[in-house]
Amino acid sequence: MTHPTRPTRHYDYIGEGQDIYVNSFAAIRLAADLASVPPDAEKVAVRMIHGSGQVDLVGDLVIHPQLVSAARGALEAGAPILCDATMVATGVTRRRLPRDNEVLCFLNDGRVADLAKAWGTTRTAAAVWLWEPLLEGAVVAIGNAPTALFHLLEMIIDGAPRPAAIVGCPVGFIGAAESKQELIDLHDRHGIDIPYLTVLGRRGGSAMTSSALNALALEQE
């Protein structure tokens, strides 16, 4: 293999990663109306907009007033991050984690396929059941399957250990909006108050979710 040689530069663009972040975040703050976002969650909103490229996302964000303190406190105490999808887990920047926290996804666990078949649900939802021994005080991140969020909420209603915070941003046309509304209504309907972040409607996804986690993990942008 030959020694790597940078290709001839034919275009005028910002190449340094940190410079891209700084300029992107500045552009987002100019374009987005962040007035409705809790002050301590502004950087979370900015990173989610950055990860999705959607400035109007801020209008659909629903952020519990204790989200940032609960999630950051849990991570600083060493809590794991439990992810519904490998894409969410992969999107977490490990160097931002304050305690080299575990980032776990059980989707490929050997028990999942049989559970999903027996319960008549998705593999992603079945994998959530494997979180139970780790749920107490964990940070939960759901960025793909509405069934995973429904299943998590059902477990909690049935008495499962409670996570410190839930980043609940499943995406899609079937069940996404409904599952996120149930997360919002968890306190009013069931008396269970767990700090959360979600996005109204069909939008969501792994990029938004991992962006939120990266902001929650470290105050510094």
Catalytic residues: 50
Rg (CA), the chain: 18
Query: Secondary structure of the chain: what % helix, strand, coil (to 5)?
Result: 50, 10, 40
170 and 215 in contact (C-beta within 8 Å)?
no
**Closest residue by Cα to residue 168 from 140, 188, 191:** 140
Burial class (CB in 10 A: 0-12, 13-18, 19+), 131: buried
Contacts of 159 (CB under 8 A, 6+ apart): none
**Closest residue by Cα to residue 96 from 166, 30, 43, 147:** 43
Cα 9 from Cα 44, distance rounded (Å): 34
Cα 154 from Cα 132, distance rounded (Å): 12
Backbone angles phi, psi at 171, to 5 degrees: -125, 150
